[in-house]
């Protein structure tokens, strides 16, 4: 399973610059260290970032660290959303914008 490889847009440093120039919004799914790093990297490059995850940011870390990092990210303009369960993704625009869709019943 997994996402189609064509959706892995930011595979080079030059891609980050392209995304920042295009002024797109970015959805990062996952609150582990990789998702947290990507969210902060893109936000600092000027991209509007929403970071969504199931439980809490950095679930492997102590809860105090998770709360502190959530506050720092919000101060940097990152929209941090917990309690999100993703059922599926679908391409909804040519610009490879991903949106959560309801899981099939």
Give me the tens of pLDDT residue by residue for the chain, a chain 105 residues long: 444 444 444 555 566 667 777 777 888 999 999 999 999 988 998 889 999 999 999 999 999 999 999 999 999 999 999 999 888 877 665 444 444 445 555
The H-assigned helical ranges of the chain are 13-22, 33-44, 63-75
Does 1 map to a domain?
A: no
Does 5 map to a domain?
A: no
Q: How far apart are CA 36 and CA 101, in angstroms?
A: 23
Query: Can you give the CATH number for the domain in which 21 is found?
Result: 3.50.50.60
pTM of the model: 0.70
């Amino acid at each position: 399973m997994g996402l189609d490889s064509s959706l892995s847009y930011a595979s080079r440093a030059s891609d980050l610059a392209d995304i920042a120039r295009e002024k797109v919004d970015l959805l990062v799914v996952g609150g582990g260290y990789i998702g947290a790093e990507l969210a902060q990297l893109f936000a600092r490059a000027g991209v509007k970032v929403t970071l969504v995850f199931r439980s809490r940011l950095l679930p492997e870390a102590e809860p105090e660290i998770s709360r502190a990092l959530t506050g720092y990210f919000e101060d940097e303009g990152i929209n941090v959303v917990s309690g999100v369960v993703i059922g599926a993704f679908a391409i909804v625009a040519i610009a490879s914008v991903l949106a959560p869709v309801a899981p099939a019943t």
